[in-house]
Amino acid sequence: MAKTYLENLLGEKERILFTARQHWFIVISSILLEVSAILVIFAVTIALVLLTPDMRLWIAIIGFLVMLVPILSLVRDVLIWSNHQYIVTNWRVIQVSGVINKNVIDSSLEKVNDVKMTQSFFGRMFNFGDIEILTASEMGVNLFKRIDDPVRFKTVMLNAKEALERRAGELPPAMPDIPALIAQLDALRKEGILTEEEFQAKKSDLLSKI
């Protein structure tokens, strides 16, 4: 099965924890305006056809062509909304936008310093708000405006950051370079700083760690 564009962005052990879009209010407000424009153009076209029967064919054609403008605009707005995503993975936060040309902005969870959430009265009622992510990267601030379910987005992101930091703290210490340490001990033995017995004891102790 072919991978989606988003799946192709993920690392080998990276997984998606949460996906959000801008609240549906954003696209609905545009759709309502465009549907209103379509209805007005349709009504005006019908009225002109009835008033001028001699030119009804040309009026109908012109009315249809004019009506295509808000229809295409409606399709464009829906595509832009559906392709603008905010994703939290176990490693980073990703913002993907664009229908044909894709624009991808991501911030590593390790570099996230602070998260600010802003919700208005209506935002709390209809569950949308702004998320501002302060990072240590060159971009500094990522602002996600009017996203759906911002509380869950913030909670999932902070939990993922905490889990990432916890895993990093549990990593085993790096294995020392045993051959190099034995060579250093041998040099100390040759210089007379270590006796043969001390050298052999330390050498055995290092070899036991391999």
Domain-ending residue, one of 83, 116, 134: 83
Is residue 113 located within the same domain as residue 142?
yes
Strand 16-20 to 85-89 pairing:
antiparallel
pLDDT tops 70 at residue 24: yes
Is residue 44 located within the same domain as residue 144?
no
- What residues make up the domain containing 13? 1-22+88-96+103-171
Q: What total of structural domains would you count in the chain?
A: 3
**Better pLDDT: 130 or 53:** 130
Is residue 165 located within the same domain as residue 186?
no
Percent of the chain predicted with pLDDT > 90: 25
Is residue 11 located within the same domain as residue 92?
yes
In this predicted structure, what is the pLDDT of residue 3?
A: 65
Is residue 110 located within the same domain as residue 154?
yes
Cβ-count burial of 132 within 10 angstroms (0-12 exposed, 13-18 middle, 19+ buried)? middle
- Which SS3 state, helix, strand or coil, does residue 15 take? coil
Is residue 135 located within the same domain as residue 159?
yes
Nearest Cα residue to 105 out of 135, 127, 82: 135
In this predicted structure, what is the pLDDT of residue 51?
A: 87
| Poorest-pLDDT segment among 32-41, 60-69, 93-102, 138-147 | 138-147
Is residue 70 located within the same domain as residue 146?
no
Is residue 129 located within the same domain as residue 41?
no
The whole-number average pLDDT for the span 72-80 is: 92
Is residue 51 located within the same domain as residue 154?
no
Do you know the residue count of the chain?
Answer: 210
pLDDT, the chain, mean: 84
Phi and psi angles of residue 60, each rounded to the nearest 5 degrees, phi first: -65, -40
- Which SS3 state, helix, strand or coil, does residue 154 take? helix
Q: How far apart are CA 165 and CA 155, in angstroms?
A: 15
Is residue 186 located within the same domain as residue 162?
no
Is residue 109 located within the same domain as residue 163?
yes
The enclosing domain of 167 has a CATH number of 2.30.29
Give tens-digit pLDDT for 32-57: 999 999 999 999 999 998 888 888 88
In this predicted structure, what is the pLDDT of residue 176?
A: 64
Is residue 159 located within the same domain as residue 92?
yes
Give tens-digit pLDDT for 159-207: 988 888 887 766 555 566 677 777 777 777 777 777 787 778 777 777 7
